[in-house]
Amino acid sequence: MRLTFLGTGTSGGVPMIACTCPVCISTDAKDKRLRSSVMIEADGKTLIVDTGPDFRQQMLRENVMRVDGIIYTHSHKDHTGGLDDIRAYNYVLKRDMPLYLDAFTEQEIREQYAYIFSPNPYPGIPRVQLHRISGDAPFVAEGIPVIPIKALHHQMPVLGFRFGHITYITDANYIAPEEIEKIKGTRILILNALRREQHISHFTLQQAIELIQHIKPERAYLTHISHQLGTYNDVSQELPDGIFLAYDGLKVE
């Protein structure tokens, strides 16, 4: 199984439009963060977690010729804004795109993309096939077994996903003890860490590190990063052993 970080930035991306802070003007490629998403490749299948506004650019950068299905963590636009661009795969693969999503995310995506679900659709719109999932039951997405992890993003329920020994959780700031049990034993844990200062809906760097040290994976990667966190180089130097900042294009096996 291989996981690729398609994007590792928070909702505005890094650099942020019209910002001249040291992170946003950094020339280090690791300080260029598209909106957060990952690609999972296993048993010849390719799944994408979330289609943010940079989905098209991410698919072109990674030269992704085939997407078998998409799983959604939640319905915020930085995780859904690229859905229209699945049309390319509808056309090339000649099939509707399977979307795996819970009831609330489905409801929100139906509102955000009303034209896709119109009873009398315009020709050439994205074609999707909906698969309802819930945080309470493991599911199989295009042959790949997935354990959902329930988390809270302020008061909004979001889903993280465990794929075998890799667990991906973005946009959370609370995970209940019984959900943490589902993560335990994972070798690689990916967790969101927005910045150092408190935030209403995201783990801070310190909160993420404490949770990782409680769960004790072999390695952990931090994602959904704001320009306020600092440069890749500066922050990397202060992280405990086994905890790394993710960056766009990073692959873990």
Look up residue 114 and give its DSSP letter.
Answer: G
Residue placing its CB nearer to Zn ion in the complex, 54 or 78? 78
Contacts of 130 (CB under 8 A, 6+ apart): 99, 101, 106
Residue placing its CB nearer to Zn ion in the complex, 142 or 170? 170
Least distance (Å) between residue 46 CB and Zn ion: 22
Q: Site residues (CB under 5 A) for Zn ion?
A: 16, 19, 21, 24, 76, 78, 171, 227
Least distance (Å) between residue 202 CB and Zn ion: 8
Residue placing its CB nearer to Zn ion in the complex, 16 or 40? 16
Least distance (Å) between residue 184 CB and Zn ion: 25
Residue placing its CB nearer to Zn ion in the complex, 90 or 112? 112
* Helix/strand/coil (H/E/C) assignment for every residue in 59-103: HHHCCCCCCCEEECCCCCHHHHCCHHHHHHHHHHHCCCEEEEECH
**Largest distance between two CA atoms of the chain:** 56
Q: Closest by alpha carbon to 78, among 99, 51, 114, 100?
A: 51
Residue placing its CB nearer to Zn ion in the complex, 17 or 137? 17
Start-to-end Cα distance in the chain: 6
Least distance (Å) between residue 134 CB and Zn ion: 19
Contacts of 176 (CB under 8 A, 6+ apart): 150
Least distance (Å) between residue 53 CB and Zn ion: 11
